[in-house]
Amino acid sequence: MTEHPRLETAVRGRAHRSASASGIRVLDRAMQILALLAEAEAGLGVTEIARRVGLGKSTTHRLLSALARAEVVRPDPRTRLYQLGFRLLQWTAGWLDRMDVRTRALPHLRQLREKCQETVSLNLHDGLSRVAVERLEASQEVRFVAELGQPLPLHVGAGGKAILAFLPRPEADRALKAARLASRAERLVRRALAEVRRTGSAVSFGERIAGSGAVSGPVFNHEGRVVGSVSILSVAARLSPDTVRSHAELVRQTAAAVSRELGWAG
């Protein structure tokens, strides 16, 4: 039995804080190395990197080895000089793709807002979630406001269902499994997704916010892969059956226009 539990707890607390501080220092040093390699016109050796960053050679070598395992840096097998790795290029390409979708979609979103006089948004697929990356608000006194940058589950709301319905079956199954829905709830979602695939648009009422409604259409890239959705966001009281049908046609047209901007030929 421990005779001094308070002392033991204090020691563990200090050890935890020390480990956290050490981790932050390691991350800071790794970032310094990456910044140095990004600015270098050619590859740099361990000795030069250590000198410029102000670290010992052994510490620098350990950090470079860890970064190389993560493919963030890569050593030239001939010269043993280090450069930035291809993983950073992949991450940057993914970020640029997102920015490109937003840029290409913006004129079409403006036209959509003019036609429907409601808030419109662009959502992008992100793993098991979707994220609103653009929002153009309506001039209506009572209007729906979409939160930008907040990850939302794919099975909730028209914006997510418009994406989920067109994902490859294994990906859609993973997303639904991660949602941990009850059997009946999952059956209802799958039935709704089948309807989205049939009509080419998704409709939801109050799934995230009581009194709200949304109509969305899927956006595809040049490979025919769904990458996002275009949504009209409103209050449920303004969404009569005729209005929903009109909005559905508008989002299908807008989503198709954005998809063609991305090289989709479907």
What is the mean pLDDT of the segment spanning 61-79?
A: 90
CATH number of 5-84: 1.10.10.10
Is residue 204 within 8 Å of 223, Cβ to Cβ? no
Residues in the chain: 266
Is residue 135 within 8 Å of 124, Cβ to Cβ? no
pLDDT class of 94 with cuts at 50, 70, 90: low
Which of 13-17, 21-25, 130-134, 225-229 shows the highest mean pLDDT? 225-229
Burial class (CB in 10 A: 0-12, 13-18, 19+), 68: middle
Is residue 262 within 8 Å of 222, Cβ to Cβ? yes
Query: DSSP assignment of 151-203, as one string?
Result: EEETTSSHHHHHHHTTS-HHHHHHHHHHHT--HHHHHHHHHHHHHHHHHS-EE
Identify the CA nearest to 232 among candidates 103, 109, 104.
109
- Between CA 55 and CA 249 the distance in angstroms is 61
Q: Which residue has the higher pLDDT, 13 or 257?
A: 257
* Averaged pLDDT of the chain: 86
What residues form DSSP beta bridges with 219? 228
Identify the CA nearest to 228 among candidates 255, 205, 248.
255
Domain boundaries, the chain: 5-84, 98-261
Q: What is the pLDDT of residue 87?
A: 81
Question: Over 50: is that where the pLDDT of 2 sits?
Answer: no
Question: Over 90: is that where the pLDDT of 143 sits?
Answer: no
Say if pTM beats, i.e. exceeds, 0.75: no
Question: Over 50: is that where the pLDDT of 106 sits?
Answer: yes
What is the mean pLDDT of the segment spanning 160-174?
A: 95
Is residue 73 within 8 Å of 37, Cβ to Cβ? yes
* Domain 5-84 matches domain 98-261 at the CATH topology level: no
pLDDT class of 146 with cuts at 50, 70, 90: low
**What is the helix (H) or strand (E) element at residue 230, kind and residue range?**
strand 226-235
What is the token pair recorded at 169? 């079956």
- Between CA 108 and CA 98 the distance in angstroms is 16
What is the mean pLDDT of the segment spanning 86-107?
A: 75
- Between CA 146 and CA 137 the distance in angstroms is 9
Question: Over 70: is that where the pLDDT of 22 sits?
Answer: no
pLDDT class of 48 with cuts at 50, 70, 90: very high
Question: May I ask the CATH class of domain 98-261?
Answer: alpha beta
> CB under 8 Å to 260, separation ≥6 — which residues?
none
- Between CA 39 and CA 188 the distance in angstroms is 54
